[in-house]
Amino acid sequence: MTKAKITQMLSIMDNLYPDTRCFLDYDEEKPWQLLMATILSAQCTDVRVNIITAQLFLAFPTIEALATADISKIEEIIKTCGLYRAKAGYLKDTATALLSEHSGVIPKNIDALTKMPGVGRKTANVVLAHIYGVPCIAVDTHVARVAFRLGLTKNDSPIKIENDLMKAIPKTHILKFSTQIIAHGRAVCTARSAKCADCTLSILCKHGNTEKKGR
């Protein structure tokens, strides 16, 4: 996609998705909550995670409370989340690591973040973007699918897709784009069937133009 088309795409996305808040609920005065919510979001919808964390953060209102919690209590609260037994361990161990290694403060460093249990690059990027405003993009299935269809990447590796998007999208727009592309993937450019006829980005999209020619 050319720079002119990218500029046009970003303008359209700004109109379609002006609200670029994080999809996960957390107390902004307790940024550790976003880290825990993002760990839970692997193979689980944000809607389900928000239901779970409402209970989790009520039961454990501080990082210290979570770090010292009985693992069975954590499991009981998050049991409707996929892979809940493993994730319960990640939550407790990551809370402990935050306290012992970082004095309870989320590190502003992707290498330090990804050393924590259950924290991959996608999770780290979500936290860095929303807590610290670092211009980065978390590549999930929606981002990978929409970016490929739009012609912003030809890769299927998350790290390569991330690199392609970081090169293509202006840094001043990356934070907004990160949530906008996910919103578009959920609402319009879905995995099961892309709604190209209803998509205002289809004029710029390789996949959309192919769909129209096929009709």
Residue 106, both tokens: 């989320």
Query: How big is the CA angle at 22 (ends 187 and 29), to the nearest 5 degrees?
Result: 160
8 Å CB contact between 56 and 77: yes
Dihedrals phi, psi of 194, to nearest 5 degrees: -65, 135
Tokens 């953060």 sit on residue: 57
Residue 49 near residue 82, CB atoms below 8 Å: no
Residue 60: alpha-carbon gap to chain centroid: 23
Nearest Cα to 165, choosing from 22, 23, 6? 6
Q: Yes or no: say if 114 and 21 are a contact pair by the CB < 8 Å rule.
A: no
Q: Residues near 81 by Cβ (< 8 Å), separated by ≥ 6?
A: 40, 44, 48, 49, 52, 87
Candidates 140, 160, 171, 213; catalytic one = 140
Q: How far apart (Å, rounded) are the C-alpha atoms in residues 23 and 26?
A: 10
Which of 93, 122, 154, 198 is an active site residue? 122
CA nearest to 35, candidates 57, 59, 68: 57
| Catalytic (active site) residue 30 | no
Concerning whether 160 is annotated as a catalytic residue, the answer is no
Active site residues: 122, 140
